[in-house]
Structure 1
């Protein structure tokens, strides 16, 4: 596609963006359209701070969540080019003490397995909830984290394993993953304000606050306390992500200088595993086949090859994509939790750029969103009412429950008495525990059921929490 043709087809883009923002009730968004090395369009809309009515512009920082993952695989590809690693060499050959829960995965897991999500591991999201672990401690935790699929059985999205990839990079090279990205990607692409830190983001003046749509309207969220690292920690702006997309379209060349061999880079876009659609992933006839490469989803979008990755993190949603054959790409950032604005807007703009018949992407994604909420409701049926006053009669003395509990990967939970109540403390999570019977409690503030375990003498020796729904409850053993 010629640049002049693409530019002409963007006529009326502002009206289209504002219409979509209104349909999705998004307070602020930023949009870029890229053609090879040229940014055809780049602008902000709405507010980065609703209360102060501060506008979004092209330099406003947003969390991009899992749109971080392609940065991780780009660093892995650069390390492959330099001979520091190979995609298909078992990690155990680099780190002889490397262990997974599964014996086969221990012996055979490679960086390719991690990069295309076929390790058999689920997300184990609570592992990322503000853990204070070193890179080596993260890697050492792997043998204690249960998979829910057989190794290499199928595609299963796992942010946990992407986070682990970052820590493995540090263990192998002695250089933190974040430093690799800053030196090899941010600096040459002039992504000067992109970072991995909420503290660094909020120290500046031009950043978006995170929001969520509720029954009472738009509500500001606190910035996430999680540390998703190589899986989802980048904060960036639409103008800087436009440079990132241009880097893809120019096959690794920036201002005439090559930063990675084209054949090494192109391997990232080769389909590795089939992605089963349905559930959380939409089923649209316009994209009949979805695959995952190395850090990128790969779709046949209405007959055109589309490489893309969305991102969701508390209060922010992102879409980063490009069409290699057409030399065009799109970035959409929004400051609303779990919003489908970025995806629906990006596909609408691609239809314009390709001069194709318009599709009502808002309606399609609204129907998909409804299915997701119905699926969540079915997985979490309303709990039966509990007669708590009667349940309290069956409780053991509170000091039977109090103490320090530990899981070798998840770390410590403290249960203590406070103002006549039992309270649990896990990293940044604190909640009262309401007794349902002598061994079952509910942490109502965070919606977690607690099940205590006892030995033959009836003494409490542990507590089980369903922190990863797809595996057995995580067992914390009582230490004190």
Structure 2
């Protein structure tokens, strides 16, 4: 049983660590809500929803969620399944003009839900979001016909038959949105609003850009340029009310909401489909959504894979962790649940970069009475921070630097004639062996670190012994 003292520890950890993370990862504004089955336990905003106007981020600030929208799409599909209007085993082509795939093994609705269609990422969201920010790629993507011309031209891109391999596919969730639209008879965003948002009292949550822009407590989205400056950016999704037919353009990531309203959504999931005595989905459907249907090649806790609209870790400190992140490049979010223990966390920020998975897992570790240092992400980041720095050989004859960029370590060897930068590839996922390797002219070269009890660090590369000096 989780005691209130663990929740107090979580609150203290959030208050201490969020400002540090915002500084390190260049995040102007951040909001968080932590819930159990019965209500909100903690909610807070940090930093700026608008830097220029010096307006604070609050728990009620509206953010562009990105791919956390996908669980709303999956939930909508499961509602239609429960209503007997579709089956998960129906071919997608029964409802939308998808023309690619294997004739004898068609792509089914369940394959799109679990990203197991065999189609690799086609970049539809990259095209749409960059266009919305003014970076047009020249690829038509303004209508239903544009979308299917693009997708149906990708027959030769298919890698495997359905159900065999995981490929995250935003175009697949657009097709699911189109199925919802065609089967329900109303635009995709209208269906989700009427069937999920309104029953959950998420009255400010919306897919409509003009509604977002009229709300007084909304973010200004930001991108960070190469010099580290925050650049105000338009909300990149188009206004779905101006193009009802292509409403499903927003299905993979177009929902706008606050962590306060997302708390209602998390509570409905924790209560197996019931919110304030009103059922929006059956327990069996949620259990199916929370089940691994295709496994990921990567794993830190045991079985890890994709359900329907959610990522699933089955062995997170002995329980199941259900989560999903989202990004529209200039606004991001993260939703997560511990169904067995009845806790959930909603987070959002108005830029990219916040380490949501690591932070959520750390908070859940505290809730479960574990040491945050037990979280693999924390172990790896701590080791990376320890190894980063300037290194010199005897008397400073040769110099090198180990730096962290984009979640990887790099070795920079410096000399009077220039420098060489090489990625440091760990021999093991958690870097516990302190052994890495680099490639030099196609030859694999070992790099070993020795960490002494007094805090000193040495690095061995071929014939050289480097000492960390800073």
Hey, what does 1:263 align to over in structure 2?
284
Hey, what does 1:28 align to over in structure 2?
29
User: Equivalents in 1 of 2:191, 2:381: separation in Å?
Assistant: 36
Change (3 A) 1:364 1:212: farther
Deviation at 1:229, TM superposition (A): 1.2
Give the SS at the match of 1:305: strand
Deviations 1:19-74 (A, max 9, x none): 33233232110011111121101111110111221100011011111111000000
Deviation at 1:301, TM superposition (A): 1.9
1:290 aligns with 2:304: yes
Give the counterpart of 2:204 among 193, 208, 217: 193
Deviations 1:171-213 (A, max 9, x none): 2332211111101111011111111133321222111112233
Deviation at 1:126, TM superposition (A): 4.2
User: Equivalents in 2 of 1:208, 1:5: separation in Å?
Assistant: 33
Hey, what does 1:167 align to over in structure 2?
178
Q: Residue 189 of structure 1 contacts residue 244 of structure 1 at CA under 8 Å; is this kept in 2?
A: yes
Show the 5 A alignment for 1:354-373: 354-359=368-373, 361=377, 364=380, 370=405
User: Equivalents in 2 of 1:207, 1:23: separation in Å?
Assistant: 24
User: Equivalents in 2 of 1:310, 1:196: separation in Å?
Assistant: 18
Give the SS at the match of 1:74: helix
Q: Residue 269 of structure 1 contacts residue 298 of structure 1 at CA under 8 Å; is this kept in 2?
A: yes
User: Equivalents in 2 of 1:110, 1:136: separation in Å?
Assistant: 21
Hey, what does 1:51 align to over in structure 2?
52
Show the 5 A alignment for 1:96-135: 98-104=97-103, 108-126=106-124, 128-129=127-128, 133-135=142-144
Hey, what does 1:234 align to over in structure 2?
255
Q: Residue 124 of structure 2 contacts residue 170 of structure 2 at CA under 8 Å; is this kept in 1?
A: no
Hey, what does 2:192 align to over in structure 1?
181
User: Equivalents in 2 of 1:37, 1:356: separation in Å?
Assistant: 23
Q: Residue 139 of structure 1 contacts residue 167 of structure 1 at CA under 8 Å; is this kept in 2?
A: no
Show the 5 A alignment for 1:262-341: 262-277=283-298, 285=300, 287-299=301-313, 300-337=315-352, 339-341=353-355
Deviation at 1:226, TM superposition (A): 4.4
Q: State TM-score, norm by structure 1.
A: 0.70
Q: Residue 309 of structure 1 contacts residue 319 of structure 1 at CA under 8 Å; is this kept in 2?
A: yes
User: Equivalents in 2 of 1:2, 1:54: separation in Å?
Assistant: 36
Alignment RMSD, CA only? Answer: 2.6
Gaps of 5+ in 1: 278-282, 376-480
Give the SS at the match of 1:271: coil
Q: Residue 116 of structure 1 contacts residue 273 of structure 1 at CA under 8 Å; is this kept in 2?
A: yes
User: Equivalents in 1 of 2:39, 2:222: separation in Å?
Assistant: 31
Hey, what does 1:407 align to over in structure 2?
none
Hey, what does 1:243 align to over in structure 2?
264
Deviation at 1:230, TM superposition (A): 0.8
User: Equivalents in 2 of 1:20, 1:179: separation in Å?
Assistant: 37
User: Equivalents in 1 of 2:180, 2:167: separation in Å?
Assistant: 22
Higher mean C-alpha deviation, range 257-266 or range 108-117: 257-266
Q: Residue 3 of structure 1 contacts residue 35 of structure 1 at CA under 8 Å; is this kept in 2?
A: no
Q: Residue 207 of structure 2 contacts residue 255 of structure 2 at CA under 8 Å; is this kept in 1?
A: yes
Gaps of 5+ in 2: 132-139, 239-248, 386-403, 411-470
Change (3 A) 1:210 1:89: same
User: Equivalents in 2 of 1:364, 1:335: separation in Å?
Assistant: 26
Give the SS at the match of 1:346: helix
Give the SS at the match of 1:42: strand
Deviations 1:120-148 (A, max 9, x none): 22222246525664546645654223334
User: Equivalents in 1 of 2:201, 2:6: separation in Å?
Assistant: 25
Higher mean C-alpha deviation, range 187-196 or range 256-265: 256-265
Aligned residues: 364
Hey, what does 1:352 align to over in structure 2?
366
Hey, what does 2:456 align to over in structure 1?
none
User: Equivalents in 2 of 1:296, 1:119: separation in Å?
Assistant: 16
User: Equivalents in 2 of 1:103, 1:2: separation in Å?
Assistant: 50
1:213 aligns with 2:224: yes
User: Equivalents in 1 of 2:24, 2:185: separation in Å?
Assistant: 48
Q: State TM-score, norm by structure 2.
A: 0.71
Give the SS at the match of 1:314: coil
Higher mean C-alpha deviation, range 4-13 or range 253-262: 4-13
Hey, what does 1:74 align to over in structure 2?
75
Q: Residue 181 of structure 2 contacts residue 191 of structure 2 at CA under 8 Å; is this kept in 1?
A: no
Q: Residue 30 of structure 2 contacts residue 45 of structure 2 at CA under 8 Å; is this kept in 1?
A: yes
